[in-house]
Amino acid sequence: MTRLSVNINKIATLRNSRGGNNPNLIQVAKDCERFGAQGITVHPRPDERHIRYNDVFELKKTVTTEFNIEGNCQEQKFIDLVLANKPEQVTLVPDVLGQITSNHGWDTIKNQQYLKDMIAVFKNAGIRVSIFVDPVVEMVEAAATTGTDRIELYTEAYAHQYLNDKEAAIAPYIKAAEAAQKAGLGINAGHDLDLNNLKYFADNIPALAEVSIGHALITDALYYGLENTIQMYLRQLV
């Protein structure tokens, strides 16, 4: 079964919009785990518009499932944060300053040596590393030379094309996943996966280890409730 990691950035966004501690981010993380989530994901950014750096330290004390910290390893503060907390997994994303959300994977050919150096830093600290990549076979093959343990397939293109032609939407991801398997890489996925498109993706991507879902899941929770929503997503992954 593919594991579900819940990204709680949007809970932090709601909290920050009014100040104070409502909703309580730490309690929500505990509840997500209690409701069946197999991991908690956060993606701190330099402006701390959602997850704050001190949230990560508090979550590290609390999370009992897999803790996954996503972010831009070109920021020294992010590197220091990850090394100080030693999550089970760090996911390296090539964000730029001020970016609203992640919108592309690494160019693993152009940045091959840089990624080798950064991945070694985290692996030497005992942290599993995943890197964000587009569904391009060449990028997956180059990722395999960097020392990363996993790739995370960036799924926005799949989600956008799914309703028009789901077979065409999934095709490059199947090829990318097969290349990852051949290279011995674990496979994660994330971005714009939801209750409509998740099952088809999970059913067609071989050896999909984990999906990280935040925006869609938290949005659905407004209608269905958090506990029920997490169960609905888990059922898509069976």
Instruction: Give me the active site residues, please.
Output: 43, 70, 191
Which region, left, alpha or beta, applies to residue 126 given φ > 0 means left and ψ of -120 to 50 means alpha? left
User: What DSSP state is assigned to residue 189?
Assistant: E
Burial 82-114 (b: 16+ CB within 10 A, else e): beebebebbbbbbbeeeeeebeebbbbeebeee
CB of 13 closer than 8 Å to CB of 50: yes
CB of 90 closer than 8 Å to CB of 69: yes
Q: Does residue 203 sit in helix, strand or coil?
A: helix
Six token digits for residue 217: 């899941």
